[in-house]
Structure 1
Amino acid sequence: MDLRRLSSFLAVAEERHFGRAAARLFLSPSALTAHIQRLEREVGAELFNRNPVSLTPAGERFARHARALLDAVNTALDDVANEPVTDTLRIGVMGHGSAELTPAVINAFRQASPETRLVLEPLTFTEHTSALLACRVDVAFVRPAVSDERIAVDVLTREQRIVVVPARSELGQATALEVADVLELPFVTVPPYTPRPFTDYLYFTEARGGEPPRRGPDHAVTPHEVLTSVSAGRGAGSALKSFERYYHWPGTVCVPVVDAPWEHSVLATRADDTSPSVRLFRKLATTLAAHFPDRP
């Protein structure tokens, strides 16, 4: 979510007039209107009544979040304002990362440190720690939490668990499932060198008493590979609730597992990395996470 659009939104909310808000922000009226229209599309609701200008009920609720987000960013910037940042920051993202929070943090860093070159690196299920320890990336949006003294972890989101099953299967007709319903699913197979925290998360290992799952015939290291197997009726996958918002795949259904413990997505960094850019990115991520709505 672009912080400039949040600033435009708050200016209109406070001025109750598009023209005065545009002048206050040194924007053209058309640019300000475009900001508001884009924000309303992102949020999925009208934020203002027009003629006269006033906040809608959705706009009133959103204004509280917008103010908190901008205040949080300003606090984070004040905390590290006097430290130089490095020229390049390499950001690893596994799957869809921490959902809508991922682009919000990246955009906040981009605006806070425009001189820093950002490089985005997609990560597979096997790269919770290896990409960081090999210095391929400097920060990584992964799930679940990593247990490694060489890795620092900041918890960003906490979400309900789901399973991804073929739409034409019996479980595909369910509106909700329990852990006991999914333990015998033929889960897609990940490589043997996949970090244990991820396999335990993927296969509900604690619920099955440490026993290995029934494995499907296909291997996968990315969400797309999982969905290809599921849509063909050859396997199942598991994920966080936000997965459903990001991956609309024909022939697959995401069903919540209502009694499964909720899981985290995290920002992982090298524990000994004290670079100002990493510190700023972590500060922005944790500060935004504390104020970010569950579903923007």
Structure 2
Amino acid sequence: MALDLRLLSSFLAVVEEGHFGRAAARLFLSPPAVTQHIRRLESQVGARLLDRSGSPVVPTAAGVRFAGHARALLDAANAALDDLADVAQETDGGRPLRVGIMGHGSAELTPAAINAYRRARPEVRVEIRQLDFTEHVTALVEDRVDVAFVRPSPKDERLVADVLTTEQRIVVVHERSPLADARTSGIEVADLTELPLFRVPGHTPHSFTDYLYFGDRAQRRSSEYAVTPQEVLTGVVTGRSAGSGLRSFARYYAWPGAVFIPVLDAPWESSYLAVRAGDDNPEVRIFRALAVALAKDMGPGINAL
């Protein structure tokens, strides 16, 4: 029996996210596509792999056992691709375009830009790489990605960045937080004094911590550390910490028990497409031009979604 690696990726995403919608957003697929992948996989292996009766979705006993095999298969496939990368560059005339994405990137503009590039340059392989909160500078300067959807703007002369979206700031808290009642009316930065925002590692760029903590006006810190949106939400729904982000965060990470509150007097913040300054890779220039053009075409409406 030959297993489609896409089915394994969808299965592991649902296992790790505990939710079909969040898994779909992470993979830049539609929820029905992920559901179909799981059904095909369960049909192939002849066992029910996920218990869909509650929230979060959890693996069955067979699913827990199969998850280990799925990770091993994907790891082996990725290792094989890495091992052959140099040979592939010699034989197919070029390297893949490596796209880094922090969190959900620039909301709906992220998959739109990637799909536009794939249509324009079908002969170029695109690799998607998830970035954590510490990597919006290092992933580019260390040549691990070629373009990166990040926030806020990288403060590094080795990089240049284009504004793609501009959105209202929000905080995310547990539904039993004293601030939860303000989900529709909103709050002000002064109300964040006692909010236990999650911590980030010490090597996180200052520009990101300044963004995260509203210029250090939100001064209280949780004991919880996080470097991905999933870790932020885990701290929130377990009542151990709170998070901050852009308004679109609520559309992509609507976890049960999490409440998203607009911060009315905080300056709106932007998401960016960052690249290395002076990069002469024509594929980078094409991708950048497409993303910027789409941002102009989609206009302010994307920020009001």
- Whether these two folds match at TM > 0.5 is yes
Query: Could you tell me which of 278, 283, 290 is aligned with 1:277?
Result: 283
What residue in structure 2 maps to residue 101 of structure 1? 109
What residue in structure 1 maps to residue 122 of structure 2? 114
Instruction: Give the AA of the match of 1:100.
Output: E
Displacement, 1:89? Answer: 0.1
SS at match of 1:194: coil
Displacement, 1:246? Answer: 0.3
Query: Could you tell me which of 236, 244, 250 is aligned with 1:230?
Result: 236
Instruction: Give the AA of the match of 1:222.
Output: T
Instruction: Give the AA of the match of 2:212.
Output: L
Displacement, 1:156? Answer: 0.4
C-alpha separation between the residues in 2 aligned to 1:239 and 1:86?
37
What residue in structure 1 maps to residue 17 of structure 2? none
> Counting helix residues as a fraction of each chain, which structure ranks higher?
2
Number of residue equivalences: 210
C-alpha separation between the residues in 2 aligned to 1:186 and 1:242?
21
What residue in structure 2 maps to residue 52 of structure 1? none
Aligned pairs for 1:25-174 within 5 A: 86-174=94-182
Displacement, 1:92? Answer: 0.2
What residue in structure 2 maps to residue 221 of structure 1? 227
C-alpha separation between the residues in 1 aligned to 2:100 and 2:194?
32
SS at match of 2:114: helix
1:286 and 2:289 are equivalent in the alignment:
no
Q: Report which structure shows greater RCO (CA 8 Å, sep ≥6).
A: 1
What residue in structure 2 maps to residue 181 of structure 1? 191
Displacement, 1:186? Answer: 0.9
Q: Give per-residue Cα distances to partners, 1:92-137, cap 9 Å, x unaligned.
A: 0000000000000000000000000000000000001101111110
SS at match of 1:198: helix
4+ runs of 1 displaced by more than 4 Å?
none
SS at match of 2:290: helix
C-alpha separation between the residues in 1 aligned to 2:227 and 2:168?
22
C-alpha separation between the residues in 1 aligned to 2:264 and 2:170?
8
Aligned pairs for 1:226-265 within 5 A: 226-265=232-271
Instruction: Give the AA of the match of 1:161.
Output: R
SS at match of 2:230: helix
Contact (CA 8 Å) 1:94, 1:141: kept in 2 or not? yes
C-alpha separation between the residues in 2 aligned to 1:98 and 1:252?
21
| Structure 2, unpaired ranges of 5+ | 1-29, 33-92
C-alpha separation between the residues in 2 aligned to 1:127 and 1:156?
19
Identity %: 59
Instruction: Give the AA of the match of 1:288.
Output: L
SS at match of 2:156: coil
Instruction: Give the AA of the match of 2:109.
Output: L
Higher CA-based Rg: 1
What residue in structure 1 maps to residue 200 of structure 2? 190
Contact (CA 8 Å) 1:86, 1:276: kept in 2 or not? no
Displacement, 1:272? Answer: 2.2
Displacement, 1:170? Answer: 1.1
Displacement, 1:86? Answer: 4.4
SS at match of 1:145: coil
SS at match of 2:173: strand
Contact (CA 8 Å) 1:87, 1:115: kept in 2 or not? no
Query: Comparing 175-184 with 143-152, which one deviates more in the overlay?
Result: 175-184
C-alpha separation between the residues in 2 aligned to 1:232 and 1:87?
43
Contact (CA 8 Å) 1:183, 1:204: kept in 2 or not? no
Q: Give per-residue Cα distances to partners, 1:77-97, cap 9 Å, x unaligned.
A: xxxxxxxx9441000000000
Displacement, 1:183? Answer: 2.9
Contact (CA 8 Å) 1:187, 1:237: kept in 2 or not? yes
Instruction: Give the AA of the match of 1:264.
Output: S
Instruction: Give the AA of the match of 1:291.
Output: D
Contact (CA 8 Å) 1:167, 1:252: kept in 2 or not? yes
Instruction: Give the AA of the match of 2:144.
Output: R
Instruction: Give the AA of the match of 2:97.
Output: L
| Structure 1, unpaired ranges of 5+ | 1-38, 42-84
